[in-house]
Every structure is written in structure tokens, then in C-alpha cells.
Chains A and B, each alone.
Chain A
Amino acid sequence: MEIWKYLPGTNCGECGEKTCLAFASHLKERSTRLEECTPLFEDEKYADKGKQLAELLAPEIREIEIGVGARAAKIGGEDVMYRHELTFYNRTALAYDVWDTMEEGELRERVSRIANWRKFYVGEFLTLDAIAVRSVSGDAQTFAACVNAVAEETDLPLVLCSFDAKVLEEGLKVVAGKNPLLYAADKTNWKDVLELVKSYNVPVTLFSPDLDMLNSLALTFSSAGVEDIVLDPGVYPTGEGLADTFSRFVRIRRVGIEEGDKEVAYPLMSVPMTAWMIHGDALDASYWEAVLAAIGIIKYADIMILHSIEPHSLIAERTLVENVYTDPRRPVSVEPGLREVGTPTEHSPLFLTTNFALTYYTVESDLSSNKIDSYLIVVDSEGMGVEAAVAGEQLTAERIKETLESYGAEKRVKHKTLVIPGLAARLSGETEDVTGWTVLVGPRDSGRIPGWMDDNWPPEK
């Protein structure tokens, strides 16, 4: 255990673990923080070891933060090429664009839509991460006014976008203390942007589809003492350009993680919004933009800039981020059992679902957010969803019977009526025979339980 050698070895328990060895194994899996080992930082004699260990534990890809306060976003900090090897760490930050030629009312409305967007998913609300302000006018004062309006409207992190350093500087002056990400330095403007980055101390994006040039830019900036760097290898929206784009993202990340080369071991930026440059139709563009976004979310983009804020785009893009960045070590299933939703009585309905976590949380939230006082009995389906569990026979009439009995369902409700999911309809007859309960077939999606209740509950005597 290489990590263990750097710890005090006193098994003092300050970190909450019984032994330093146990703490070391948590550090390795990134399931705890080094700072939990207080002696390492408070006791002078461990100072050197603490520093060395911090370096040893630093992720392969540099972690940087953009924005300030509660909505600041961490990006990068990745250690693996495949999520099952550990987990992907900081989810891809999704930035949606506004531009400085927008009429102010329209601008503020768009910002507020982005900042306030939310969607319920597995027990929490998904939100968006950042706003990219584009200089379309090319005029520095116009840009500054736009940045100002955006900053008044939201505390989301900002990405300031222009290849003109003078324009960037005017924008920076407005939000200097808010740690915005600059976009971008390239082979032409890099000297001026470097000056800006050094005087304002903000993170910066370097742009070049030519990887030698990108590497050279990164090396130059890091040699100048700039550490908060994001790399944009360019997103070509179609054809060979897209195939090459895919290859660039994968190869840059491979160098950083597998080859341990620090020169390009920075977070990557993807700009799926280039899809809009090749599509005339807005709906087509939104689909193709989501396609480019999906490629980026799965293959190594740490932050991306998008244009469509239509619900179908936001829901799909943000959900995919959540799926790819969920810790794969998280259990698939919840404990089986009989749960109460709200304050049920012996006349309340009894719904049945499986112990696949996602299914369970969805049904639970549909019942609770619609204020349906009820019992929810959770069958051990070995972590499978309803449809799959019926097909794979992890959800059977026999197992429903065992579950009803072992959790004493009969003592909780008087009506002896069980509502099974619509996707398990084929089990209804057999379940009635085996259990002796009356079985009602609920809707195929628990989101429709409220409407179903109107027609079916209470059951006719």
C-alpha cells in the first residue's frame, strides 16, 4: 500500500476509520478526502509526508473550478478512461449560450430560463451548470454590457467567449471577481490572452484542432505559471471532421491518463453548438447538437457549450450526463420491504414495485409528489426493473406471495387488494390464484397513477 506509507500510522481514528490502512484504501477509491486525516496537516512532523501524499493522490487530469459560490462548477479531476474502473468524477458541465446582440429583455429571459431550469430525477433535481456569453458584435463595450446583464440575472459560472483579447478584457472587468472561464486563446491571440489571464487570475480555454499547436499552447501557458487550463481541440460537426474530432478527444485523454503526460492533462471543452453552423432547420440542428453532445459526454468532454435550450434538448443532455457520471459502485437496488408514503390508513391503496433503485425512486416520487397516501411494497427482483424482471422471472406470482407474507401486508390494509404495475399485467391472474388477494392492474407508468386512481380507487365492493 503505497498510500499507507505516507499516513501517520497511529490508527488514531480522527478520520472516522479504525485504521490508517482502511483510510488508505478509501483514499485509493476516492471515497474519502485526504483532509480528513487531521494529524497530517496539524502536526509539523507529518507536513512533508502530507504534501507528498497530496501530490500522489492528485488526479491524472487537473481539476479546476469555474465560477464562485454555491453554483461554482468543478471540472476535470478524472483518473480513469472507463467509468467501471472507478467512476467518472466531476460531471460534464453544460453551458448554454447567450450573445451580445440579443435585445436585453430577451437576454434576461433566456438567462433566467437556463438558470432556473430543473428536472426531478432519482430523488433530486437536475439543473444546468453555466452560461456562455458570446461576443457576436465584436464590440468590447457591447460585450461588457451583456456580461453585466447576465451577471445581474444569475450567479451561474460564466464562460466569456471571444477571440479578441480586448473584448474579453472588457467583459472580465465586469465579472473579475467571479472566476469566469475565458474562451479562448489560439495560435494568433495567445500573447494577449496570456497577459489577461495573468493579471486577472482566471481559468482559460486554449483552442486548436491541431494537436501539436494545442500541446504547444498548453506548454507555453503552464510554463508561464498558468495552471487552470481547459483545452478545446475543436468540434467539427460532420463527416471526416467529426470522426477526427472523436479521435482527438480520446487520444488527448489517453495521453493524460494512461501515459501520465502532464502537458495536456487538462479538462477538455467540446462545442456541440457547431451543429447549428450546418443545419438550417432548428429541430434538425437540436438533434444533431445533442448527438455531438452525447459523444462528448461519453468520450471525455469536461465542459461543453450548447445552443438549444428547448426542453427536449435539456432533458436528454442533462440526463445523459447524470447517467454517465453516476458512480457505478452505487448499488443497483434498494432494500425490499413495505414502505409508507404520506400517512396511509387501512383503506389506502397498496402498490407493488421492484427493488431496482430507479424504479423504486420513480414510483415513490410519483406517489409522494401527487400526495397519494399509500403503501408501497417492494419486491426483491434482484435489482431488475418491472418489465425485465417479468421477462427474467425475478418478479413472479410466487415471489409476490412471499413478499406480501414476509412484510405482513395483510395486517396493514383491510381491502386485501394489490395494485401491480401495468408492465406486470401478465402476472395478474396467477397472482390472484397464488395469493388469494384481489389484483388490480395499474398503469404502465407510475406517472399515471393519479388519473388511474380517479377511475379505479376505491375498488368496487
Chain B
Amino acid sequence: MEKKLTLADLARILEQYDVVELEDVTIKGEVELELGSSAGLALPPALAQALQSLMGAREMPGTLEAKRIEALLPATFKVAKAEWTGKIEEVTIGATSADGGTRERTVTIGGEKSLPFYNFDAKMPHPPVISVDCFDMPIPLARAVREYYEDVMEDPGEWAKKNVREFGADMVTIHLISTDPTIKDTPARAAAKTVEEVLQAVKVPIVIGGSGNPDKDPEVLEAAAEAAEGERCLIASANLNMDYERIAKAALKHGHVILSWTQLDINAQKTLNRYLFKLGVPREDIVIDPTTAALGYGLDYAFTNIERMRISALKGDTDLAFPISCGITNAWGAREAWMKDSPSKEDSDWGPAAYRGQMYEIITGLTLGLAGGDMFMMMHPNAASTVKKVTQTLFGAKVKEDKAKRVAIEDWVTWDAEVGALKK
């Protein structure tokens, strides 16, 4: 550092601090100044500070106590971009008439070359999408959710319609849960009919979900895939403890995307994906579901599992480089989402359950979005719209009611809660 200080500057400073004599200071030539660094340095702290400041010094010897700095030390904030070698597969769900389907629009997810919303590293190509759930029979739901669906629970087609018309769903998921032998054991053929109904009721891309019964699902999803021929649905799902081959082949034959589901286990996810490659499933036909756990009920595992998969993929692990789907509706399994009061008598009051449920769904969704989720299956309309809004905002979409520019944020300190508005 070679900042020059003129003798006139020095004289002025010395005068200002009533310094008569300098020890351990050598003045060379005209203006160069060297500060001695011996322990006996006799500069008054304030003077040393002033000299250092004038010279643009970046570090003060620790023994010197400053009294007054007159100007901010200049600095420029610089940060490198993260460079990743991998890229997440881009997957399109839904087919319009041009591609042999009847959807009015399609949805494309994935394609990332950076961590989610890290547009400063590489622009995120597609925002996450929301698929709102419906079921093929009335199911027990928390009261806070049930009130939105009570009128359509008997009719999957109407239910799907409501999700799109009233709740702005990008996609709809039809869960064929009644096919479970321990529930209603609805035959595969009847389930396929339900899928047809839903496809007629809405024009958005759909997800077809089984009941989760590993013995029945292959048959049900095969029939559903056939009924939905050419619509490029997402078939949910194939996993390791069932006849995934049958499901994958049906998806392949009838032109669908397949959801590859594993339980919080990176190696299992790699294994299942490799099996799917072997069966000839093209990479652009795979979405993965590494399992969602709710806020407070394993969300930490789900978050880290997804984040690790996404980082591995960006580092070049092509076994994991797929868009990620998250079953955010799982958040309603958390007792805080629905239970009236805390079972623990020593807890502070839990407040109304109705406020907690959507909060749990929002936080679970957003958290997994920040880990790498590209698609969220959700249930509560307000939770869905809130997650959509925040992910769209972080993605960089223009949001209409953007008041950010008008907010003088430092005024939060004087914000007057009594009137609920900014204090003038």
C-alpha cells in the first residue's frame, strides 16, 4: 500500500492531536511515512487511527485503540459465481393436440444449472409448479382443508375442476386411493374411468397417483396409463418394493412421464433410476420423488436429502439429475397442523388449528423448494397460492402487486403497529 501523505497533512494532524514529538517514526525523503511496529510505539491511538485512515490502511495493529474515524473506509463487495458442471433434465408434462394429447397447456420443469433461485449463478429456467390434489373418494381431511372441498368430494371430475378454476392449480393430481384392497378395492378398470373423467373435466396436465399399495398399484397404474394414452401424464409412482417394471413399461408404451419414488435414501434413488434407464425409459420422462416429511416430523431429513441429491446432480451425477416432486400435503400429518390443542399440558397455547394447518403446509413447501423441489403436490388453496407466490418471486417472475420499490424498509423500526401502517 503506497498511499502518499503530504507533510502539510501530517502537520495538520499532529496539530489537531497536540502531538509535539513522534517516536519510532522515520520520515524518508519528502513525504513517505513508515510507522514503526515495535511494541513501544508511542503514537497516540487516535493519531495512529487518523494516519491509517488517511493512508487507506485496511488493518489496524490490534494494540491501537481508535477514537474517531472521519470517513468510511472504501470497499467493494465482490463474490465469485458458483460453476457447476451438471444440468438437471428438463421434463415436460402434458401434451397438447399438436403432440397427440388434449391438454390446453403443458408444464415444463427442471433444466437448472444452479441451486434453486440462485439466478446470480445461472438463471433458473422454469419456476416450480403446483399440482393440487384430488381423490377418487371422500377422504378424512383436517377441517381447515375440508371446508374447501366438501361440495366436490363425491365427484373427482368436479373436484379437479375446482382445483383449476378456483384455486389456480397448474396441474391436478388424481389419487386413486379407493383401489387399495384394504379400502374399497376398486377395480383397475373403474379407476381408469375416473382418470378419463378427470382428463375431460380439466385441460391442465395431470398426475395419476395410485393408492400406495405395492401389490395393486402396478395393475391400477397400467390401466390408467392406457386410458390416458398420449396425454403425457405423470404416473405416480414406481418404487423398489413393487413391480416397477410393469408400471415403467406402461408409461413408456402410452407416452407418459414416470415418477421414481424412494424413501429418504440417495443410493436407493440412484438404483431405481438406473433400473428405469435399463428398461429404456428416456431421461426426459423421469421425475423423482425422494420423499417429503412435514415440518417438525423429519423435514430436516427430507430437506438435506433433496439438497444433497441436487448438489450431486449439479456436480455431474447424472443418476440424480432429474426434476424433483414433493408431496407437500404430507404436512397435514403433523399434529400441529390439525389438532385442536396441544397434547402436552405444559405447552403454551397452540391457538386456532385453522391458522396452523396452512402454515405447516406453506413452510414445508417453501423449505423443500429451497432444497431443490420443482413440483409441489398441495392441498390447502391459501397454502398453494402462498407457496406459488413466493417461489415465483424468488424465481424472478414479475408479480403484479409488487410494492417493494415503495417500501422504505429501514422504517420498520418506527412502524406503528397500532395503526397497522407506516408512520409518516
Indicate if A339 sits at the interface (CB-CB under 8 A).
no
Give B407's nearest chain A residue, CB to CB: A277
Q: Out of B359, B370, B404, name the residue touching A238 (CB < 8 Å).
A: B404
- Give Cα A289 to B350, complex, Å: 18
A80 CB to nearest B CB, Å: 12
Q: A219 and B117 in contact (CB under 8 A), knowing A84-B308, A259-B80?
A: no
| 19 more CB-based (< 8 A) A-B contacts, given A250-B118, A280-B421 | A117-B348, A118-B346, A119-B344, A138-B414, A237-B404, A239-B393, A247-B118, A276-B412, A295-B394, A298-B303, A310-B355, A312-B352, A319-B295, A384-B263, A385-B298, A391-B263, A392-B239, A445-B335, A450-B343
> Does A311 lie within 8 Å of B350, measured CB to CB?
yes
Indicate if B91 sits at the interface (CB-CB under 8 A).
no
The 5 closest A-B pairs by CB, nearest first: A311-B351, A241-B404, A239-B402, A447-B343, A211-B77
> Does A242 lie within 8 Å of B79, measured CB to CB?
no
A contact residues around B11 at 8 Å (CB): none
Q: A447 and B339 in contact (CB under 8 A), knowing A223-B52, A224-B60?
A: yes
Q: Which residues of A contact B (CB under 8 A)?
A: 82-84, 99, 101, 113, 116-121, 125, 134-136, 138, 161-163, 183, 186-187, 190-191, 194-195, 198, 207, 209, 211-220, 223-225, 234-243, 246-247, 250-252, 254-255, 258-259, 263-264, 271, 273-274, 276-278, 280, 282-283, 286-288, 290-291, 294-295, 298-299, 305, 307, 310-316, 319-320, 322-324, 326, 328, 332, 356, 358, 365-366, 369-370, 384-385, 387-388, 391-393, 425-426, 445-448, 450
20 contacts between A and B (CB under 8 A): A82-B304, A118-B347, A125-B346, A134-B415, A211-B77, A215-B75, A220-B72, A225-B62, A250-B120, A255-B79, A277-B412, A278-B404, A291-B386, A294-B363, A295-B366, A310-B355, A311-B356, A315-B350, A315-B359, A446-B343
Indicate if B153 sits at the interface (CB-CB under 8 A).
no
- Give Cα A278 to B362, complex, Å: 19
Q: What per-residue 1/0 map shows which CB atoms of B264-304 lie under 8 Å from chain A?
A: 10000000000000000000000000010101111111011
Q: Out of A223, A366, A425, name the residue touching B73 (CB < 8 Å).
A: A223
Give A247's nearest chain B residue, CB to CB: B120
B323 CB to nearest A CB, Å: 20
Q: What's the count of A-B pairs with C-beta under 8 Å?
A: 298
> Does A136 lie within 8 Å of B416, measured CB to CB?
yes
- Give Cα A113 to B349, complex, Å: 10
A contact residues around B421 at 8 Å (CB): 280
Give A307's nearest chain B residue, CB to CB: B417
State the majority secondary structure of interface residues on B.
loop
Interface size of B by CB at 8 A reads 105
> Does B335 lie within 8 Å of A385, measured CB to CB?
no
> Does A195 lie within 8 Å of B359, measured CB to CB?
no
Give A276's nearest chain B residue, CB to CB: B415
Give A227's nearest chain B residue, CB to CB: B62
> Does B413 lie within 8 Å of A82, measured CB to CB?
no
State the majority secondary structure of interface residues on A.
helix
- Give Cα A294 to B300, complex, Å: 13
A384 CB to nearest B CB, Å: 6
Indicate if B147 sits at the interface (CB-CB under 8 A).
no
A contact residues around B339 at 8 Å (CB): 445, 447
- Give Cα A294 to B360, complex, Å: 11
A112 CB to nearest B CB, Å: 11
> Does B351 lie within 8 Å of A310, measured CB to CB?
yes
Q: Out of A119, A215, A287, name the residue touching B347 (CB < 8 Å).
A: A119
B392 CB to nearest A CB, Å: 10
> Does B359 lie within 8 Å of A271, measured CB to CB?
no
> Does B348 lie within 8 Å of A119, measured CB to CB?
yes
Indicate if B112 sits at the interface (CB-CB under 8 A).
no
> Does A294 lie within 8 Å of B418, measured CB to CB?
no
Q: Out of A220, A254, A280, name the residue touching B69 (CB < 8 Å).
A: A220
- Give Cα A138 to B416, complex, Å: 12
A contact residues around B62 at 8 Å (CB): 225
Which residues of B from 196 to 240 have beta carbons under 8 Å from A?
212, 214, 239
> Does A163 lie within 8 Å of B410, measured CB to CB?
yes
> Does B349 lie within 8 Å of A287, measured CB to CB?
no
- Give Cα A240 to B405, complex, Å: 8
> Does B348 lie within 8 Å of A246, measured CB to CB?
no
A contact residues around B409 at 8 Å (CB): 209, 234-237, 271, 274, 277
A contact residues around B118 at 8 Å (CB): 247, 250
A contact residues around B239 at 8 Å (CB): 392
Q: A195 and B68 in contact (CB under 8 A), knowing A310-B355, A312-B351, A324-B303?
A: yes
- Give Cα A316 to B405, complex, Å: 29
> Does B355 lie within 8 Å of A215, measured CB to CB?
no
Q: Out of A187, A190, A291, A393, name the residue touching B241 (CB < 8 Å).
A: A393
- Give Cα A219 to B52, complex, Å: 13
A contact residues around B348 at 8 Å (CB): 113, 116-119, 311, 314
Indicate if B396 sits at the interface (CB-CB under 8 A).
yes
A contact residues around B390 at 8 Å (CB): 242, 291, 295
A183 CB to nearest B CB, Å: 7
Give B341's nearest chain A residue, CB to CB: A447
> Does A187 lie within 8 Å of B72, measured CB to CB?
yes
- Give Cα A286 to B401, complex, Å: 18
> Does A324 lie within 8 Å of B300, measured CB to CB?
yes
B contact residues around A286 at 8 Å (CB): 355
> Does A294 lie within 8 Å of B72, measured CB to CB?
no
- Give Cα A219 to B56, complex, Å: 11
Q: A119 and B414 in contact (CB under 8 A), knowing A239-B402, A324-B300?
A: no
Indicate if B411 sits at the interface (CB-CB under 8 A).
yes
Q: Out of B343, B366, B401, B417, name the residue touching A369 (CB < 8 Å).
A: B343
Q: A242 and B404 in contact (CB under 8 A), knowing A82-B307, A307-B417, A311-B350?
A: yes
- Give Cα A324 to B60, complex, Å: 37
- Give Cα A195 to B70, complex, Å: 12
> Does B349 lie within 8 Å of A82, measured CB to CB?
no
Most buried by B among A163, A214, A315, A365: A315
> Does B120 lie within 8 Å of A312, measured CB to CB?
no
B412 CB to nearest A CB, Å: 5
> Does B182 lie within 8 Å of A426, measured CB to CB?
yes
Indicate if B399 sits at the interface (CB-CB under 8 A).
yes
> Does A316 lie within 8 Å of B363, measured CB to CB?
yes
A276 CB to nearest B CB, Å: 6
> Does A240 lie within 8 Å of B402, measured CB to CB?
yes
Which residues of B from 336 to 392 have beta carbons under 8 Å from A?
336, 339, 342-352, 355-356, 358-360, 362-363, 366-367, 370, 382, 386, 390
- Give Cα A324 to B405, complex, Å: 31
Indicate if B420 sits at the interface (CB-CB under 8 A).
yes
Most buried by A among B119, B180, B344, B421: B344
> Does B65 lie within 8 Å of A225, measured CB to CB?
yes
Most buried by B among A213, A223, A307: A223
B contact residues around A215 at 8 Å (CB): 75-77
Give B354's nearest chain A residue, CB to CB: A312
> Does B79 lie within 8 Å of A251, measured CB to CB?
yes
- Give Cα A214 to B72, complex, Å: 11
Indicate if B66 sits at the interface (CB-CB under 8 A).
yes
A364 CB to nearest B CB, Å: 12
> Does A243 lie within 8 Å of B304, measured CB to CB?
no
B contact residues around A252 at 8 Å (CB): 77, 79
Indicate if B59 sits at the interface (CB-CB under 8 A).
yes
> Does A369 lie within 8 Å of B303, measured CB to CB?
no
> Does B412 lie within 8 Å of A273, measured CB to CB?
yes
Give B45's nearest chain A residue, CB to CB: A225
- Give Cα A90 to B412, complex, Å: 26
Most buried by A among B52, B342, B390, B413: B413
- Give Cα A428 to B406, complex, Å: 60
Q: Out of B73, B349, B370, name the residue touching A219 (CB < 8 Å).
A: B73
Q: A163 and B393 in contact (CB under 8 A), knowing A369-B343, A384-B263?
A: no
Give A394's nearest chain B residue, CB to CB: B263
